[in-house]
Amino acid sequence: MNQTLDPATVTGTSSQAAEKATGKPWAEWMALLDAAGGRAMNHRQIVAHLAAHHDVSPWWQQQITVVYENSRGLRHKHEMSDGYQISRSRTIAASATRISEAWLDHDTCRRWLPDSDFSVRKAAPPKSIRLNWADGSLVEVALTAKGANKTTVTVQHNKLAHAEIAERMKSYWAAALERLQSVVESPAA
């Protein structure tokens, strides 16, 4: 990965916002880290350099580092410090309670999430569910009520081993949420 991308394309934070918060626009941060040997540093080393040499908060140290890594091709799409992470969401015409039951009731879950191997790590229905996936990755489910019978379901799958697995799981969760929607919105549910 020896590429250079415009920081504006890899972050949701504009250069103006970065400059307002840190005193420097993205281009200046990228040049400073290039001059400091950032391409040869790992994530922690870049953060440590920012902490030692620049007066920015820990949050901005992380933000600048991630933007730098992404813009310089040092980090793949969906890559985090502990593996790859993807998320999918879908708004479903059902209550958060009904949807959490569809996750936690074994028989109902098997109707829309067949052949999956996981254990429930923590459940706080109707708000959130955390799962341990069989491959050691983690799944976090957030349920956000949008009214009595409308809920946004967000699945975040963390600690995925490879970029290919992350892409495959994005498709997997898109299809799974579509099946979940069919199950919980059906009159016989």
pLDDT in tens, the chain (189 residues): 445 555 655 566 788 888 999 999 999 999 999 999 999 998 899 999 999 999 999 999 999 998 898 889 888 777 777 889 999 999 999 999 999 999 999 999 999 999 899 999 999 999 999 999 999 999 999 999 998 899 999 999 999 999 899 999 999 999 999 999 999 998 765
Q: Cα–Cα distance between 22 and 54 in angstroms, integer? A: 9
Residue ranges of domains in the chain? 7-71, 80-185
pLDDT digit string (tens) for 23-78? 999 999 999 999 999 999 988 999 999 999 999 999 999 999 988 988 898 887 77
pLDDT reported for residue 33:
97
CATH superfamily of 80-185: START domain (3.30.530.20)
Model's pTM, two decimal places? 0.68
Q: Cα–Cα distance between 22 and 141 in angstroms, integer? A: 33
DSSP labels for 32-74?
Answer: HHHHTTGGGS-HHHHHHHHHHHS---HHHHHHHHHHHHHHTTS
- Give the β-pairing of 118-124 and 79-80: unpaired
Tell the residue number behind the tokens 């229905």, with chain if given. 125
pLDDT reported for residue 57:
94
- How many residues does the structure list for the chain? 189
Q: Cα–Cα distance between 70 and 107 in angstroms, integer? A: 42
Q: Cα–Cα distance between 139 and 86 in angstroms, integer? A: 10
Q: Token pair for residue 155?
A: 């699945």
